Chain A
Amino acid sequence: MKPLSIGFVIFTLALLGFSTYQALVVAPTEQTMGDVQRIFYYHVPSAWVAGMCFAVNFLASLYFLWRKSLDADALAVGSAEVGVVFCSIVLITGPIWARPVWGIWWTWDARLTTTLVLWLIYVSYLVLRRFAAGSQTQTIAAALAIFGFVDVPIVYMSIRWFRTQHPSPVMGGGANSGLDPTMLHAFLWNLLAFTCIGICFIVARYRLQKMENALEAAHAELALKGMAQ
């Protein structure tokens, strides 16, 4: 690993320690919800990182289709996988918060449902990659990535309309209307830390994919040489 990236990893870990301290100790306890509200410092930044990953996946897929660059494809795989992980964190931390606060684990409200559909779309992208054969994988995966990304605003719009038509018993807004300055402070530190750790993961996965590509190319070349002899 290059010194620059080691430095960045150390910086990120220090930042993550600091932001955890901010979220769990420094930020005041929420009056009505109690300590469970602190999950918000992890839940929202994870959602942000997931969104960032899916945007990177979309741009990398577009670039791949344009230039057929295998590096862009490696970035697309990396960001999709990291995005699914963070999206899973969002879907797990959400219900943990919702159970004590709303009284139920899950409600089919617009934001929850959109996140779930988003997760389904990118899991299907990863499944397609796993089962696609040979060198066409990158192209068909990139095509699906574009479909997935284009679908997201339509999903959100339609689910919002669907749910406002049939109001559910629990209409939950976020906890973030008028945030206490100390809470906002802790939240922003966590947002920064999660963004950095997200970037670390994407870069690590991107490099791994590039190594796998190089290994595969080397194997192919070796096999060709073997044929020639």
Chain B
Amino acid sequence: MSDHDHKPAPMVDEVSDFEILEMAVRELAIEKGLFSAEDHRVWTEYVHTLGPLPAARMVAKAWLDPEYKKLCASDGVEASKAVGVNWVTSPPTQFGTPSDYCNLRILVDTPTVKHVVVCTLCSCYPRPILGQSPEWYRTPNYRRRLVRWPRQVLAEFGLQLSPDVEIRVGDSNQKTRYFVMPVRPEGTEGWTEDQLTEIVTRDCLIGVAVPKPGITSNAKRAVHPAVHPVHHDHDHGH
């Protein structure tokens, strides 16, 4: 068709059924007055500010300050304020987010207790302090298996612990949201708060990894190639 050349290039090659569904529900909600397009924009912009750095910094601060560590252990919501996160008033609602609530509990590891977090019922996650959850955290594979075979699942993440260490799985099934404060590793003596923050990765905060000097990113997840990969139809005939 000759008018094909006059159309602007699309921004994306394909849109998923879920994205179409989201747009349809959002437009219907706005039409019915449940919220406004402006409300949605404000919320989206808030969500885009979230990531794992505030939680990582809380761990680094706690490693350097025993009093702050005690506050982290007893009152996670109050401790979050030190990194600029107010669980109640940072979200645009001014009463927390609907799925994350306002009851952060920080699970403090010791040399004899290692914590790891899951939500078997859905995939609850402490988003206001940790950002969005990784894909694997939401899979039935992780959610069903971690509670019953934690040693096996952690070994798949490359983490194997002595039988003398108690592994405590935290299943966030109600309004509490958790992150893990790992033990400060050897080889970090004299480090600054910034240096310590760098090695506390998101995977360390979930509990499937432990911090190590020199490791500042999450381990790569192996991706199994698709058995029936999607072919793009618009490739034909051009």
Q: Do A and B come from one complex?
A: no
Query: Measuring CB to CB, which residues of chain B are less than 8 angstroms from any residue of chain A?
Result: none
